[in-house]
Chains A and B, each alone.
Chain A
């Protein structure tokens, strides 16, 4: 059913949501993903025409017999794994961000609220100092992210009052501790090779993503993102506040930590894979709400799709804007912040 639903003048005029059928919006978002992938396959330091790209897939699917070794190498070895990684990381970060925003009842929250970024950065920096291989750095980032959030949650639990404010304060304290520890590691790092490696890693990049990384990270990442999308109705209820959620029969004590754990694992995995990619988790949920409405059941799938498309495009910019490669974290930070101005101008009423 792709027909446009009755357009609601009041919500349209206030710019909170474009009132089209949720199914149509999902299809449009999916089309966006396909187009962005196609775009990313063609663009780069070695531009390929869409025909050559499609020819490579035709050859692999045994639809055509003409082999184009150059295009095949570019597409299959360099671009495709990286694009798939961008799709996974983008959707996971966006859904993680949306979940955090709902659980903390604050649309200005991003996934690093409880310290997953500072923790992951610390973990990765320690691994770099210890001279670990790429996989060790990735493991260090993942463990560091979880450790920081765990510390934040424990600190929050130990505070009186309980509830969301304690969690926020716990996260703030955990964040501060791990930021300080990261600074300490940077201070102690060898300025000739270790420090640049840390800084480079912190800027975020999908460049090292190959089929091997994808093989072990894609399963958990898809699972976590899907779980968060399925949690959408829980997010609606949790975002009402503790008493109201409980009065609707939802156990806040069980559901809130569960969502936080899922979102945190997803974010920690993305960081271990691509470093720190800011703004996606904050910005994309807002865009998704703008096009699909606030209801999480409609918004979360769109959020995942838009996050995927957005990061693919950002990564394409990162590797084709200049002769060298601009770190992806810088691209998302810059474009994200600028785009946020536009989104906030349209959303002001909804946020306020």
Chain B
């Protein structure tokens, strides 16, 4: 039984003819770090939102730990799956700590007082994202990248077995991008399912255990990074002639002549 499973998942925007996603079959296991590549508008975010249960599929269904997502309450889903949106618009100046504390809502309930376990999880999440010094600052005063780290910390505090992230690297500085990818592979090694959408095939080649390519609403490729993240596929996907160079476990893509 897969941790997160979907069959024939299809989604059509109300009032539109063509489906955004069509006939997606996926079986995602704990311990995997899954990278999702695709053009802008390929349906990557839609797939994540369907897997989270935010959107109702037009056909097909999603099973979470063997149970249909439709039969799960919002809080039951939240105890299993955490979500990091593409961007977080901060309206009210909540402190960073409060934002991270909200990650405990699925466990402690809305009115429940936070116990020692909740406080530990919040502190650990703040530390893991390097936010201790910003803990008392209002989120509205933070930069986009810092805010992204706050939302990531909230997802960590949620302590869910699955973590779905929509372009988590966008807005992060170079150092935090590298640290984030290291953290995500650590989380996967701890036995969580980590799935992220990304526009960085080279990063996924190094860190991901599995890469999917979403094109025109269908899964075009699904496999280990070595098979999927290739110059041939990237050229076909992005429509730019690319060559690859492998070096010390990394794979680099570049335009122009092939090195070897």
Partner-B contacts on A (CB < 8 A): 8, 10-11, 14, 16-17, 102, 105-107, 160, 230, 233-234, 236-237, 239-244, 246-251, 289, 293-295, 349-350, 352
Q: 18 A-B Cβ contacts within 8 A?
A: A16-B138, A16-B141, A17-B93, A102-B92, A107-B92, A237-B105, A241-B89, A246-B78, A247-B82, A248-B106, A249-B73, A249-B74, A249-B77, A249-B78, A250-B74, A250-B75, A295-B98, A350-B138
User: Which stretch in B48-56, B118-126, B209-217, B240-248 binds the other chain?
Assistant: B48-56
In the complex, how many angstroms separate the beta carbon of A229 from the nearest chain B beta carbon? 12
Q: A293-B93, A294-B138 are in contact. List 10 more A-B contacts (CB 8 A).
A: A17-B93, A107-B91, A160-B14, A237-B105, A240-B102, A242-B54, A243-B83, A246-B54, A248-B158, A251-B74
Other-chain residue from A11, A246, A248, A350 in contact with B53 (beta carbon distance below 8 A): A246
- Residues of the B chain whose Cβ atoms lie less than 8 Å from the Cβ of A10: 136-137, 141
CA–CA, A315 and B53, complex, Å: 50
Other-chain residue from A14, A237, A294 in contact with B102 (beta carbon distance below 8 A): A237
**Is B94's CB under 8 angstroms from A349's CB?**
no
CA–CA, A11 and B103, complex, Å: 23
CA–CA, A16 and B98, complex, Å: 15
CA–CA, A241 and B83, complex, Å: 13
Q: A11-B136, A250-B105 are in contact. Are A233 and B110 (CB under 8 A)?
A: yes
Q: A102-B92, A249-B75 are in contact. Are A243 and B110 (CB under 8 A)?
A: no
Q: How many residues of B contact A (CB 8 A)?
A: 38
**Is A8's CB under 8 angstroms from B79's CB?**
no
Other-chain residue from A11, A248, A289 in contact with B92 (beta carbon distance below 8 A): A289
5 pairs of A and B residues whose beta carbons are closest in the complex: A249-B78, A249-B75, A247-B83, A249-B106, A294-B92
CA–CA, A202 and B78, complex, Å: 47
Partner-A contacts on B (CB < 8 A): 14-15, 49, 52-54, 73-79, 81-83, 85, 88-89, 91-95, 98, 102-103, 105-106, 110-111, 136-138, 140-141, 151, 158
- For the residues of B in contact with A, the DSSP-based class is mixed
- Residues of the B chain whose Cβ atoms lie less than 8 Å from the Cβ of A105: 89, 91
CA–CA, A277 and B250, complex, Å: 66
CA–CA, A248 and B105, complex, Å: 6
CA–CA, A106 and B90, complex, Å: 10
Other-chain residue from B91, B141, B158 in contact with A239 (beta carbon distance below 8 A): B91
- Residues of the A chain whose Cβ atoms lie less than 8 Å from the Cβ of B76: 249
In the complex, how many angstroms separate the beta carbon of A245 from the nearest chain B beta carbon? 9
- Residues of the B chain whose Cβ atoms lie less than 8 Å from the Cβ of A237: 102, 105, 110
- Residues of the B chain whose Cβ atoms lie less than 8 Å from the Cβ of A160: 14-15
- Residues of the A chain whose Cβ atoms lie less than 8 Å from the Cβ of B54: 242-243, 246-247
- Residues of the A chain whose Cβ atoms lie less than 8 Å from the Cβ of B110: 233-234, 237, 250
**Is A247's CB under 8 angstroms from B78's CB?**
yes
**Is B102's CB under 8 angstroms from A243's CB?**
no
**Is A293's CB under 8 angstroms from B74's CB?**
no
- Residues of the B chain whose Cβ atoms lie less than 8 Å from the Cβ of A247: 52, 54, 78, 81-83, 85
Other-chain residue from B79, B82, B93 in contact with A294 (beta carbon distance below 8 A): B93
Other-chain residue from B14, B52, B92 in contact with A246 (beta carbon distance below 8 A): B52
In the complex, how many angstroms separate the beta carbon of B105 from the nearest chain A beta carbon? 5
CA–CA, A251 and B106, complex, Å: 11
- Residues of the B chain whose Cβ atoms lie less than 8 Å from the Cβ of A243: 49, 52, 54, 83, 85
Whose C-beta in chain A lies nearest to the C-beta of B48? A243
- Residues of the B chain whose Cβ atoms lie less than 8 Å from the Cβ of A246: 52-54, 74, 78
**Is A249's CB under 8 angstroms from B89's CB?**
no
Whose C-beta in chain A lies nearest to the C-beta of B75? A249
CA–CA, A343 and B54, complex, Å: 37
**Is A249's CB under 8 angstroms from B138's CB?**
no
- Residues of the B chain whose Cβ atoms lie less than 8 Å from the Cβ of A239: 91-92
**Is B102's CB under 8 angstroms from A248's CB?**
yes
**Is A249's CB under 8 angstroms from B111's CB?**
no
In the complex, how many angstroms separate the beta carbon of A102 from the nearest chain B beta carbon? 7
- Residues of the A chain whose Cβ atoms lie less than 8 Å from the Cβ of B73: 249, 251
**Is A294's CB under 8 angstroms from B94's CB?**
yes
**Is B140's CB under 8 angstroms from A349's CB?**
yes
**Is B111's CB under 8 angstroms from A233's CB?**
yes
Q: A240-B102, A246-B54 are in contact. Are A230 and B111 (CB under 8 A)?
A: yes
